[in-house]
Amino acid sequence: MKKARYLIDNMYTADPAVHVFNDKLYIYPSHDIESGIPENDNGDHFDMRDYHVFSMEDINGSVTDHGVALDIDDVHWAGRQMWDTDVAEKNGKYYMYFPVKDKNDIFRIGVALSDKPEGPFIPEKYPMVGSYSIDPCIFDNGNGDHYMYFGGLWGGQLQRYRNNKAQECGKEPADHEPCLCPKVARLSDDMLAFAEDPKNVLIVDDNGEPLKAGDHDRRFFEASWMHTYNGKYYFSYSTGNTHLLCYAMGDSPYGPFTYAGVILTPVVGWTTHHSIVEFRGKWYLFYHDCVPSGGKTWLRSIKVVELEYKNDGTIKTLEGSVN
Ligand code: FUB
């Protein structure tokens, strides 16, 4: 598959987290809707209210919509804005992690459970203790350990936190200072809590120096994803206001990660968000753009394209505007 393919045409979808469960591809996207709220840097126009789950038996085959898997009305602590979700499996149970603003307009991360990968998912009564910000990505390390990566700037509120605590400043650091880091925490055995305080995911340049806050072409903004290839850990993310999907490589789920390049140049639309998955011996990039909606940034459509590695393990850059 050398040309990207749109996957869903009966609704707008974004932020596709994709996993292989039971030899099928399961897609967990955000469900974009027309909210009528004007665009702003706080992301208020992304006013989503539920999640649908989709599956595919074959990468070129049809896509099944399994219907609503979780609705905001079923999360009693939720206020507004169900953003990017992810799902993990452990011992035959499926855990959906979802960021939503609470009634005080603060993003928290909730967990919902199901016996099936397609849901429906039943939410726990309260958000995860110590959770904040957005874009949870769950990485299964293959040894029983699962890690959550999370965080997102501006509308995702990460700039409001230092050392896992909300603080007054609420801004990105000055341009010459180290940038804010995405976070990682191992999950508890029951998958419902952090087993440890979230730690910084450090991204460094070739000299081992942390990326600077002013380095907008490389610094983390949102959309964490983790995968492994040939024994290396690949942390990938969006640079937000420069609209790039980038990645950094390391030797452990905690990093540090060395910046390694661009996976996808800007797509049509403001946000860019993805997942990277191996399926039947090939690698795929799932992502979104706003071409089908005529460029409306809050009405996105998910796509898939094959991803290729070079011999040295680096990823071949894809062009967002032509794929
Ligand atoms: O879909 C809402 C937000 O837009 C996501 O949480 C971000 O990653 C961006 O794609």
Prediction ipTM score = 0.97
Contact assessment for residue 274 and residue 244, using Cβ atoms and an 8 Å cutoff: no
Q: Are 223 and 274 in contact (CB under 8 A)?
A: yes
Query: Could you report the per-residue pLDDT of 243-286, keeping only the tens digit for each?
Result: 999 999 999 999 999 999 999 999 999 999 999 999 999 999 99
CB 252 within 8 A of CB 233: yes
- From atom 4 of ligand 1, which residue's Cα is the shortest distance away? 271
Distance 207 CA to ligand 1 centre (A): 31
Contact present, 46 and 40 (Cβ < 8 Å): no
Q: Looking at the predicted structure, is the pLDDT value of residue 322 above 90?
A: no
Query: What pLDDT, on a 0 to 100 scale, did the predictor assign at position 1?
Result: 65
Grade residue 319 by pLDDT with cuts at 50, 70 and 90. Answer: very high
What is the reported pLDDT for 235? 98
pLDDT (0 to 100) of residue 13: 98
Length of the chain: 323
Please report which confidence band the pLDDT of residue 308 belongs to, taking 50, 70 and 90 as the band edges.
very high
Average pLDDT, the chain: 97
Task: Please state the atom number of ligand 1 nearest to the C-alpha of residue 84.
Answer: 6
Lining residues, ligand 1, CB within 6 Å: 14-15, 30, 46, 83-84, 134-135, 152, 222-223, 271, 273
What residue ranges define each of the domains in the chain, with the CATH number in brackets? 5-316 (2.115.10.20)
Percentage of the chain exceeding pLDDT 70: 99
Report how far residue 6's alpha carbon sits from residue 289's, in angstroms, rounded to the nearest whole number. 9
Q: What percent of the chain has pLDDT over 90?
A: 96
- Give the pLDDT score at 2: 73
Region 192-205: mean pLDDT is: 98
Catalytic residues: 15, 222
**What's the one-letter identity of residue 215?**
D
For ligand 1, atom 8, name the residue with the nearest CA.
223
Contact 233, 225 (CB under 8 A): no
pLDDT confidence band for 127 (50 / 70 / 90): very high
pTM: 0.98
From residue 225, give the alpha-carbon distance in Å to each of 47, 64, 90, 159, 187. Answer: 23, 24, 19, 20, 16
Instruction: Indicate if the pLDDT at residue 323 is higher than 90.
Output: no
| pLDDT over 70 (residue 236) | yes
Phi, psi of 273 (to 5 degrees): -160, 145
From ligand 1's centre to the CA of 84, what distance in Å? Answer: 6
* Four-residue CA torsion sign, 290, 11, 90, 56: negative
91 pLDDT above the threshold of 90: yes
What's CA 165's distance to the chain center, in Å? Answer: 22
pLDDT of residue 18: 98
Task: Answer yes or no: is pLDDT of 14 > 80.
Answer: yes
> Mind listing the pLDDT tens digit for each residue in 216-228?
999 999 999 999 9
- Cα of 271 from ligand 1 centre, angstroms: 7
Query: What is each CA distance from 156 to 32, 82, 101, 139, 224, in whole angstroms?
Result: 16, 11, 10, 20, 12
Q: Where do the H-state alpha helices sit in 183-225? A: none
Rounded Cα distance between 178 and 205, Å, is 11
Residue 62 CB contacts under 8 Å (≥ 6 apart), including other chains? 56
Amino acid identity of residue 137, one-letter, is C
**Closest by Cα among 208, 151, 155 to 181:** 151
Average pLDDT over residues 294-302: 97
